[in-house]
Structure 1
Amino acid sequence: MPTSPETTFPLANYDRLCFLKNIIKSPQIEVGEYTYYDDFETVENFEQNVRYLFEFIGDKLIIGKFCQIASGVTFIMNGANHLTDAVSTFPFAIFGEDWAPAMAGKSYPTKGDTTVGNDVWIGYNATIMAGVTIGDGAIIGSKSVVTKDVPPYTIVGGNPAKVIRQRFSDAEIEHLLEVRWWDWPVERITRELGGLTGREPKKL
């Protein structure tokens, strides 16, 4: 049997890679089974790198199963947003006193939850902006800044991140999205490892 997804540190004598859901404390972060985070220093850095996640805003970071998240990956949540269509972007109201009423009848912009699909690989030092949806099977290149949704099984890179290429044909991607291998029982995943590490999606 494979390592249990309830194991915090699945690699023997190595505490800088964890199954992420087992260390998350914030109720605004949801993580699926077997998604791992690997950090050069400590896995406790993950939640510190989810920036501007405030309870009063209520947005969530939702990450699927079997994702691979490298050291330095940062998520910028909606709490970072300022007014962009006003004369000034300065957040007067947060300083209180005579400036407290500055946001009366107004609200800061929000783009909703940030969602990472299943089997997504996010490379070193990538930044994911608020409200982005990253599709299943996508790859985010190292040091990319993702400002827009990423289609399933697509490789993106750069600042801002742009599509480099699809990993498979449209028909193969449609098949993989129907198969949803990450939802299989672990026993079936184990039996199908040859196909999962092969190059022919239609064999699954």
Structure 2
Amino acid sequence: MHIISNLARISHLADLEDSIKGSQLIVEDEVSIDSFVKIKFTGGLGDVRIGRGTVINSGVVIYSGNGVNIGEDVAIAANCTFAAVNHEFQRKDVTIKMQRFQPSRGGILIENDVWIGANCVILDGAIIHQGCVVGAGSLVRSELAPYSINIGNPLRRIGWRR
């Protein structure tokens, strides 16, 4: 079920799937969802809430999993992925796909007035506090302090040195 404000602007090229398990998509006033945004309900029973004044740019994918709560006035740049779920993979006698999902780490919480740069990946259990800036290309899987600047270093992650 979708609860979408009449004051939200959603591109006709966005793909907002329906949940087959009863999870909700809640989109508040003045939210802008650009073309080629995908919201997919999978991997859990969590809702997806997008707070007032938030802007989500092209190519963003949100997997509902254990819940995604995005606060007010959040800016999300292009091609970010929100994955509020993790696959189980411990057993060797069963394929990863058949093992389904790990227990929840709490979903994803993005507080108000946050800027998430392009190509970021936000994982289950991430908490990004108010006023935080997440630099382009970052991976977030834990808690980021309020009003902090968190800049990933993509060169170091692929083995290059400065």
Give the TM-score taking structure 1 as reference length: 0.51
Residue pairs, 1:1-204, within 5 angstroms:
6-8=7-9, 19-20=32-33, 28-39=47-58, 45-46=59-60, 49-51=61-63, 53-54=64-65, 59-78=66-85, 80-83=86-89, 86=90, 88=91, 91-92=94-95, 95=98, 108-158=102-152
- The structure having more radius of gyration, on CA atoms, is 1
The TM-score, its normalising length taken from structure 2, stands at 0.62
Percent of residue pairs identical: 27
Structure 1 Cα separation of the partners of residues 47 and 74 of structure 2 = 18
Give the direction of change, closer, same or farther, for the CA distance of 1:6–1:154 in structure 2 (3 Å limit).
same
Structure 1 unaligned blocks of 5 or more: 10-14, 40-44, 96-101, 161-204
User: Is contact 2:122-2:141 (8 Å) kept?
Assistant: yes
The structure carrying a bigger strand percent of its residues is 2
C-alpha displacement of 1:92: 3.7
Cα distance between partner residues in 2 of 1:89 and 1:77: 24
C-alpha distance in 1 between matches for 2:7 and 2:72 = 13
- Cα deviation for residue 62 of structure 1 reads 0.3
Aligned length: 125
| Structure 2 stretches lacking a partner, 5+ long | 15-30, 155-162
- Write the distance in 1 (CA, Å) between the matches of 2:136 and 2:32: 21
Q: Is the alpha carbon distance of 1:91 and 1:30 closer, same or farther for their aligned partners in structure 2, counting shifts above 3 Å?
A: farther
Give, in whole Å, the separation in 2 of the partners of 1:90 and 1:50: 30
Q: Shift of residue 135 of structure 1?
A: 0.1
- 1:82–1:90 contact (8 Å) kept in structure 2: no
Equivalent residue letter for 2:87: N
Q: Which runs of 4+ in 1 moved over 3 A?
A: 23-27, 88-95
